[in-house]
């Protein structure tokens, strides 16, 4: 019977499916509240108004989720038998939590010996419920990190910052992922203008707080742009003294990567050593170039260097052509670009000064504008697989890893 509200599980939980079978209005309300908890951003919580019999019936025809929670009013031999039947219907490694009416240590021990992850007494306090589910999921799947997407430019002024903003808005508003937009540009940053906020701190201060791993103070340095997009509201630094190191940025990321499923890093104006370290470790790199010769020439060299940094693999690096149509007679054709760079551009975005300069000067989000949302959608398409599919894959492989060793309820019952 878990009573502790320990905060050891205050991290972003891995992508998982959890189903709760209950007829208790209070429990239903608690589940609803948990869905709003940031730790559960990637957990699909489903409530079924029913009991163990409904779970048995459902998993006779449907694949069971990662964790099944069953609330019961009767804890007797018949219930234990039904749990056993349920175990037979569920996939190997499925976790189980039982919510019951009585606080009974012998019953608790019996259920645990059957392989139940935990037993809770109703009414379940949201804090404890959250902790117990988190603990079960982490035991089962391991804690999984977030996705870091680096956006970098072949040269200055090619639109790196605005495309990073557009992508971050798209991931937050179109993929509904809690997202953080970061840069290491200090007061050279233009994100505040683009998203309409004033810097409330300096990058130097944020790096200091990051080095101390002070999560709460860092959270207060964030600007919320809508429900799911946050931005580090730094930028009040002295322009000519800006100097972030890879190590400092790494410490900042260590704090943020357990809170945000997706981090978009705008590398334009970042010191070169920071670009190097982020390009090496990002899950995805978007390299922005215009279709004109000076930019393409740098893009070609940069693509080779990025490949080398990433262990000789070009996988996960996409070239984006921006401002297509800006100078039609001076622009290389798509096929010329493909053969010269040995890389097929993943997206080509039109030159649209009215849209870009308009949104930027009004401090308006791309996703709040019809044409802007289209640009965001094109960029989101490049990372959607990474955000969705990879988390599924990693949870699937973690699942496999733990399924054999964990001995969840249903493994134990099956091996009887």
Which residues sit at the interface with ligand ATP, rule CB under 6 A? 153, 156-162, 190, 268-269, 322-323, 349, 351-353, 356-357, 360
Instruction: Note whether 268 binds Mg ion by CB under 5 A.
Output: yes
Q: Which is nearer to Mg ion, 131 or 360 (CB)?
A: 360
Q: Which is nearer to ligand ATP, 108 or 356 (CB)?
A: 356
Taking CB under 5 A as the binding criterion, the range among 201-209, 239-247, 262-270, 273-281 that sits at the site for Mg ion is 262-270
Residues 6 or more apart from 402 whose CB is under 8 A from it? 93, 139, 140, 141, 142
Q: What span, in angstroms and rounded, lies between the C-alpha atoms of 263 and 176?
A: 13
Q: What span, in angstroms and rounded, lies between the C-alpha atoms of 214 and 219?
A: 9
User: In angstroms, what is the minimal distance from the CB of 217 to ligand ATP?
Assistant: 28
Three-point CA angle 44, 47, 50, nearest 5°: 150
> Rg (Cα) of the chain, in Å, rounded?
25
Instruction: Note whether 187 binds Mg ion by CB under 5 A.
Output: no
User: What secondary structure does DSSP assign to 165-217, as a single string?
Assistant: HHHHHHHHHTS---EEEEE--GGG--HHHHHT----B-HHHHHHHHHTT-HHH
User: In angstroms, what is the minimal distance from the CB of 276 to ligand ATP?
Assistant: 17
What would the 3-class secondary structure string for 311-334 be? Answer: CCCCCCEEEEEEEECCCHHHECCH
Q: Which is nearer to Mg ion, 188 or 326 (CB)?
A: 188
Taking CB under 5 A as the binding criterion, the range among 158-166, 218-226, 281-289, 369-377 that sits at the site for Mg ion is 158-166
Chain position carrying tokens 């709003």: 36
Q: Which of the listed partners (Mg ion, ligand ATP, none) does 158 bind, with a CB threshold of 5 to 8 Å by partner kind?
A: ligand ATP
Chain position carrying tokens 């001076």: 330
Bridge partner residues of 286 (DSSP): 151, 318
User: In angstroms, what is the minimal distance from the CB of 220 to Mg ion?
Assistant: 25
Q: Which of the listed partners (Mg ion, ligand ATP, none) does 353 bind, with a CB threshold of 5 to 8 Å by partner kind?
A: ligand ATP
Please report how the helices 272-281 and 246-256 are oriented relative to each other, as an axis angle in degrees rounded to 10: 40
Q: Which of the listed partners (ligand ATP, Mg ion, none) does 325 bind, with a CB threshold of 5 to 8 Å by partner kind?
A: none
User: In angstroms, what is the minimal distance from the CB of 349 to ligand ATP?
Assistant: 5
Instruction: Note whether 161 binds Mg ion by CB under 5 A.
Output: yes
CB neighbourhood size of 80 (10 A) = 13
Q: Which is nearer to ligand ATP, 314 or 378 (CB)?
A: 378
Q: Which is nearer to Mg ion, 153 or 345 (CB)?
A: 153
User: In angstroms, what is the minimal distance from the CB of 360 to Mg ion?
Assistant: 11
Please report, as ranges, the residues that interact with Mg ion according to CB under 5 A: 161, 268
């Amino acid at each position: 019977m878990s009573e502790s509200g320990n905060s050891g599980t205050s991290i972003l939980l891995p992508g998982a499916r959890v189903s709760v079978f209950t007829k208790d209005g209070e429990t239903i309300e608690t589940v609803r509240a948990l869905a709003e908890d940031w730790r559960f951003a990637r957990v699909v919580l489903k409530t079924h108004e029913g009991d163990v019999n409904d779970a048995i019936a459902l998993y006779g025809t449907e694949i069971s989720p990662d964790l099944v929670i069953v609330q019961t009013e009767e804890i007797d031999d018949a219930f234990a038998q039904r749990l056993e039947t349920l175990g037979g219907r569920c996939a190997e490694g499925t976790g189980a939590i039982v919510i019951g009416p009585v606080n009974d240590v012998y019953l608790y021990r019996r259920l645990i010996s059957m392989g139940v992850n935990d037993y809770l007494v109703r009414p379940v306090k949201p804090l404890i419920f959250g902790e117990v589910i988190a603990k079960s999921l982490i035991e089962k799947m391991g804690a999984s990190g977030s996705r870091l997407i680096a956006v970098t430019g072949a040269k200055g002024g090619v639109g790196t910052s605005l495309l990073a903003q557009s992508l971050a808005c798209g991931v937050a508003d179109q993929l509904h992922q809690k997202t953080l937009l970061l840069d290491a540009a200090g007061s050279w940053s233009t994100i505040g203008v683009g998203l309409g906020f004033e810097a409330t701190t300096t990058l130097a201060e944020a790096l200091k707080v990051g080095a101390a791993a002070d999560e709460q103070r860092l959270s207060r340095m964030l600007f919320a742009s809508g429900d799911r997009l946050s931005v580090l509201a730094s930028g009040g630094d002295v322009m000519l003294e800006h100097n972030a190191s890879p190590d400092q940025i790494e410490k900042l990321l260590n704090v943020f990567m357990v809170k945000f499923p997706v981090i978009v890093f705008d590398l334009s104006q970042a010191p070169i050593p920071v670009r190097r370290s982020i390009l090496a470790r990002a899950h995805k790199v978007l390299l922005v170039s215009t279709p004109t010769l000076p930019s393409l020439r740098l893009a070609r060299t940069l693509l080779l260097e990025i490949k080398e940094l990433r262990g000789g693999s070009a996988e996960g690096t996409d070239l984006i052509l921006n401002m297509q149509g800006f100078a039609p007679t001076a622009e290389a054709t798509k096929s010329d670009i493909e053969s010269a760079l040995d890389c097929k551009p993943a997206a080509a975005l039109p030159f649209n000064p009215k849209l870009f300069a308009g949104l930027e000067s009004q401090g308006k989000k791309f996703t709040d504008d019809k044409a802007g949302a289209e640009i965001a959608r094109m960029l989101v398409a490049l990372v959607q697989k990474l955000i969705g599919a990879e988390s599924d894959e990693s949870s699937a492989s973690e699942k496999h890893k733990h399924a054999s060793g964990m001995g969840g309820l249903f493994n134990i019952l099956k091996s009887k």
